[in-house]
Amino acid sequence: MTYSDENKSNSWALVTGSSGGIGLAFAEELAKKKKSIILVARNENRLVELSKKISQQYGVATKTVAADLSSLEGVNHLISETKELKVNLLINNAGKEESGSFLTLPPAEMLSSIALNCSAPLLLTHHLANKMASQGGGQILFISSIVAFQGVPLIANYAATKSYLLTFAEGIALELESQGVKISIAAPGFTKTNLAPHQNFESTPFKPLDAEFVAHYTLNKLGKRRLIIPGFINKVLFYLGKYLQSRRKNSQAFGKVFRLVLRDELAITDTAKVEQ
Question: How far from 85 is each of 9, 16, 36, 66, 258, CA to CA, in Å?
Answer: 7, 16, 11, 17, 42
Phi, psi dihedrals of residue 117, rounded to the nearest 5°: -80, -30
Active site residue 158: yes
CA distance 70 to 113: 7
Q: Is 86 helix (H, G, I), strand (E, B) or coil?
A: strand
Nearest to 15 by CA among 28, 6, 1: 28
- In 3D, which of 188, 248, 177 has the Cα closest to residue 218? 188
Q: Which of 3, 158, 164, 217 is catalytic?
A: 158
What residues have CB less than 8 Å from 179, skipping those under 6 apart? Answer: 129, 132, 133, 137
Question: Which residue numbers are catalytic?
Answer: 158
